Homo-oligomer: A and B are copies of this chain.
Amino acid sequence: MKMVKAIIKPERFEFVKKALEEKGFNGMTITDVKGRGEQKGITLEYRGGQMIVDLLPKIQLEIVVRDSDVDMLITALTDSARTGKIGDGKIFVIPVEKSIRIRTGETET
């Protein structure tokens, strides 16, 4: 199994959620995070000077899926989260060795 960890713009979240639902991805864990990418945030002009605003608010989705679903999920994520502008975010794929449903004890690997 894999954990697909996507860091997206908050304003895209509704679209992303809907897109994932359509593809049958329901389970997910959401965290409010802050982040910056290689561009180091946004630069504002400011009375002659400049001010860099980094660590902008983002939403992080963690979705654990079977290996076979990873590609479909990534496509769904990138398609729905993309605006084409800086700050669109990143997706990381991390191996998961085991997943347990607490209610039933059911284990998947």
Q: Is A40's beta carbon under 8 Å from chain B? A: yes
Complex Cα distance A85/B6, Å? 29
**Known contacts being A100-B91, A102-B82, is A28 close to B38, with CB within 8 Å?**
no
Within A77-109, which residues are at the interface with B (CB < 8 Å)? 77-78, 81-86, 88-103, 105
Contact of A92 among B3, B26, B37, B105 (CB under 8 A): B3
Contact A90 B64 (CB under 8 A): yes
Q: Is A31's beta carbon under 8 Å from chain B? A: yes
Contact of A93 among B39, B40, B93, B97 (CB under 8 A): B97
- 5 A-B pairs besides A26-B37, A64-B90 with CB distance below 8 A are A30-B35, A31-B33, A78-B102, A90-B99, A93-B97
